[in-house]
A and B are shown apart, each in its own frame.
Chain A
Amino acid sequence: MTPSSSYPPAAEVKGFPQETAAAAVPTQAAVIPALSADPLDIVGLLSGAHHPGAGAVVLFSGEVRDSNRGQAVLGLEYEAYAPMAEKLIAEILAEAKANWKLHIAVAQHRVGKVAVGDSAVVVITASAHRSEAYAANRHIIDRIKHEAPIWKCEHYADGTKEWGNNCNCHSVTGDIHKHIYESGQHP
């Protein structure tokens, strides 16, 4: 094999003498806005969600489907009561970070029009091991969907539209504001 000048000297690779991984990665120093009117930068969010103590990073992206309950969907429009949604999402993330000992917990939700295939919400969790990152991520997205004052309006191909109605938890819990995960029936 012919040595390539683009390969670093072996001594540098073995000892990582120039910079450590901890120094090279951001550790969520920047505050991520909970709501965004612009398309979500999934790659950018993920690239900022690495931590030297985290062996597991889980990213969930909730994306717009092209159909719902048999109807063709052209796109969604999200509206939020921003001050309360931001406050609630911050509380949900802080609580999850404490409960699962996460190194990083990030969530960002779209407002405005979102096209089919685009991301409407992203949740990223990073922890020492995968079980905590997965569990916390699921918990965070469930709570955001059910508790944050954010609403979606589905725009259908037939020209009609409909607000909300993506949560049928009350059919199980018997309470419009009580969700399955709150009643211990979460899978």
Chain B
Amino acid sequence: MKIHVYAGLKDYFQPEFELREEIANTDELRAVLVKINGNAGPLLSTCRFAVEEGFIDKNFKLNAHDTVVIIPPSSGG
């Protein structure tokens, strides 16, 4: 599974990386990421997730071939 992160999350992770673990949903993905870098936990808890340019929720079934974009709260303007 490919992971893309933006903004403040780049202080904790590479902008793009790959996870080999079996990850079924966003709750599991968040837990895996916190294991990798616990300091990202508070920010990750506020993030949303997107696949194929659409937001997904925790019920969305993730697949190994998905590219998941992790989206911190927006701060444009």
Contacts and interface: CB of A to CB of B under 8 A. Distances in A.
B7 A153 contact: yes
A156 interface: no
B5 to A, nearest CB: 10
Interface string A56-89: 0000001000000000000000111101110100
Contacts of A152: 75-77
Contact of A163 (B8, B50, B69): B8
Contacts of B77: 62, 109, 120-121, 141, 144-145, 150, 152, 166
Interface in B19-77: 46, 48, 50, 53-54, 69, 71-77
A151 B9 CA distance: 11
B56 to A, nearest CB: 12
Contact of B53 (A79, A83, A148, A177): A83
Contacts of A121: 76-77
A144 B74 CA distance: 9
What class of interface size applies to chain B in its complex with A? 10 to 19
A105 to B, nearest CB: 16
Given A149-B74, A150-B76, A166-B77, A79 B6 contact: yes
Contacts of A145: 74-77
B50 A84 contact: yes
Interface of A: 62, 78-81, 83-85, 87, 109, 120-121, 141, 144-153, 163-167, 176-177
Q: Lowest 7 A-B CB distances belong to which pairs?
A: A150-B76, A164-B75, A145-B77, A151-B7, A163-B8, A84-B53, A163-B7
Interface of B: 4, 6-8, 11, 46, 48, 50, 53-54, 69, 71-77
